[in-house]
Structure formats: C-alpha cells, structure tokens
Structure 1
Amino acid sequence: MAAHVETEVLIGAPVDLTWRLANDIGHWPDLFGEYASVRLLHRDGAASRFRLTAPPDARGRVLTWILEQISDPTRRTVHARRVGPGPLGQLSVRWCCIGIGGMATRLRWIQDFATRPDSPIDDAAMMSHLDFGSSTRLDRLRRRVESVARAERLAGGAG
C-alpha cells in the first residue's frame, strides 16, 4: 500500500454499546452519513460482504462498491477491504474499539490505500480526502453513540 491514514475519536459511551452500534451495518447510512444504502450480500460467521452506495454527487453520479470485512467481537476489531472499481486500486481498513474506564471508548480507524495509476487524484490528495472524511464520519458516529448512551442512562435511571 502506498499511503496510510489513522483517525480516532473518543466517545463518551461504554465500549459494548459503541461496538454494537458501529457494527450495525444496516444503520450505517444514519450513523456515518456517507452512505445512501447498505445491502448485505453474504455473511458467513464473522465474515461479511456487502454493497455500499453513496448519495449522488454534485453531478448526479452514484458510486457503489463492495466491502468485505471480518469482525472479531472478542477483540473488538474489524479488518475490511474494498473490492471493485473506484479511484482506489487498493483499500484496507482496520478499526478497533478500546474501552476506557467503563464509560468511554477510543475508536480508531487505520486505512491503507493506493490510488490507481489512472485515477484523477494522487495518493496525497486522497490521503487528505480520507483524513477529513474519516474525522467527519467518526464525529458523526460519536454524536449518535453518545445520544443513545444518554437515552439509555435516562431510561435506566427512570425505573
């Protein structure tokens, strides 16, 4: 791989809740905002393959791609790779949830990639794009998870 991006966020919610929500693939459009839809194509134990579709861009183009991933709930890690066309010749993503003191989670994304030789952007531009986009998506996820954690604390405290 030619380039590497690491992004992380501290989430004010327990690691089990963060892990559960971040792995709820069907809700990724709401959690991350990057996807218009997610369709599970195949699941075999910890391995899954699904199609992601982005909302239309400014020119009305709709991008879609396949992601294959293996989840390890015990270690709270995911290893994924993008399959198929796009500006990236290769993309692998590793992410992990690390519990901190029972009430917080450090969520870290590690992306290794290489742009295709015929891509309109180079690795440096893609690295900047992925870094900004990842930070934005992780912050959106943080807000969603913390909102659910607050609601669960309130519901638990009401009884």
Structure 2
Amino acid sequence: MPLPPLTNEEFRTIVQRCTGIPAEALRLDDPDLTIDEIGVDSLGLLNVITEVENRCDIRLDAEGLTRFPEILAQINEKLAPPSARTENSIVIDAPLDLVWDLTNDVANWPNLFSEYAAAEILHRDGDTVRFRLTMHPEPDGTVWSWVSERVMDRAAGSVRAYRVETGPFDFMNIGWTYRETAAGVEMRWVQEFHMKPEAPVDDATMAEHINRNSKVQLALIKERVETAARSRAGAGVAP
C-alpha cells in the first residue's frame, strides 16, 4: 500500500533530527529561504535524504535543489499514486528565438494567455523564476491564485516548472519543449499531476479540463506570437 504524503511537520521533525537545528528555527515552508540560509550544510542534507529514503523506500535526486519545499515536493511526488498526464502541442510559424522569448516572459503572460489576470514575479535567479499567477474571477466570484517556479534551459529548448503552492493538487509538474520543424516551432506542453483526495475533482476530470483548456490557450498563443512575428517583419525588425 502506498505511504501517505509526508506532512510539513513530519518533514521538519526529520530535518531537526538529522541536522540538530532546533525545530523552531526550521522555516522549511518558506519558499524564499535556501537550504544554506536555514543553516543546513551538505552533510546535514545528506543525512536528511538518507533518512527519508530509508523511511519511505524511495530514491531522491536532490542535485540542483536549493530549497526544502522543492525536496518535499519531490518526496510526495514519489509517494503519490501513479500520476495523471496530459500532453498538448502546436506549431507556431515564427522564429524560435521570438517564440522562446515571448512564451517565457512570465510577467507578460496576462497578455499572452486569456486565463490569467495577473503574473507577479516574486524572485528571479538566472534562468529560474518564481512567480504568482492569478486567474480571472469565476462566475461565482472565486479567484484562483498560486505560486509556481520555472527553470528555463534555452540551450536544450526545454522548461520545467512545478507548483510551489499546490492547492487541490498533491503535486503539479509541467514541462515545455521547443522544436524547430519545417512548418515552424513546435511547442509541446506535458503536465503530470495528482489530485488530493479532498479535491473537488479527480485526476480524470482534471485531465479533461487541462486538455480542453490547453488547446484554447495554445491556439491563442500561436495567433499572438505569429502576429508579433509578422509585425516585426513588416517593420524590418530582426527576429
């Protein structure tokens, strides 16, 4: 039987036991604090990883992770039942550099997507950006908002992202890839997720919603990026 997700308090207890840092000083749910800033050195982190792996019978890859919420998200991703997965793509008739620049300008997403009312950049470190997305209100007035983190790799033509504030999801991981074709740039979105038991919808219902909405958003992005490409070409601006 799969183990239940590791709670913040359970994780804090493990970190305290493995590092000796007082529990009250371990602000592990603060997304802005790095592991170093909390005071955990590489040996302490190794002890935490080993303890979790032995306790949960999983294997973790903490390389490149700098914050404890990222590690807890990976732990619970591995503990979760098999995830749901959606995959959608579109070909955009525009130069790759322009497609990349426009679709990775998170601050401008409200002008690129139709679903977002606001995109607030919370932190930027090189190719990593943490941001808050806020959607337009639903008919009943409900406003959905959450924090995500996005890591861009221009050389590989790929982006990976995850929700820091998971809301109704156990986890939500997102991958974007870009590939040049004879017809233009293929942009592909892959989303892997699992809904919490208390969420108002199950994995299958959410997958249906994501697939339906992704087609709408991809078509809109294609139209807006291609319009920008034509405008630049008409003005003699290099792509």
- Normalization by structure 2: what TM-score? 0.63
2:114 alignment counterpart? 33
Partner of 1:156: 236
What does 1:49-64 align with in structure 2 at a 5 Å threshold?
A: 49-64=130-145
CA–CA separation in structure 2 for the residues paired with 1:42 and 1:17: 24
2:124 & 2:176 partners in 1: Cα distance?
19
Higher alpha-carbon Rg = 2
2-structure distance, mates of 1:148, 1:41? 27
Aligned to 1:147: 227
Percent sequence identity over aligned pairs: 39
Structure 2 contact 170–194 (Cα < 8 Å) conserved: yes
2:169 is the alignment partner of 1:88: yes
Structure 2 matches for 1:109-120, cutoff 5 A? 109-120=189-200
3-state SS, counterpart of residue 107 of structure 1: strand
Per the alignment, residue 132 of structure 1 pairs with 212
Task: For structure 2, list consecutive stretches of 5 or more residues without a partner in the other structure.
Answer: 1-81
RCO (CA 8 Å, sep 6+): is it higher in 1 or 2? 1
Say if 2:113 is the partner of 1:21. Answer: no
Give unmatched runs, 5+ long, in structure 1.
none
Equivalenced residue count is 156
CA distance in 1, matches of 2:208, 2:159: 23
1:57-76 pair list within 5 angstroms: 57-76=138-157
Give the structure with the larger strand fraction.
1
Report Cα offsets for 1:22-48 as digits up to 9, x if no partner.
011111011011110000101111111
Greater shift, 67-76 or 80-89, is seen at: 80-89
Question: Partner letter of residue 128 of structure 1?
Answer: E
Matched, 1:98 2:195: no
Q: Going by fraction, where is helix more abundant, 1 or 2?
A: 2
C-alpha distance in structure 2 between counterparts of 1:88 and 1:35, whole Å: 19
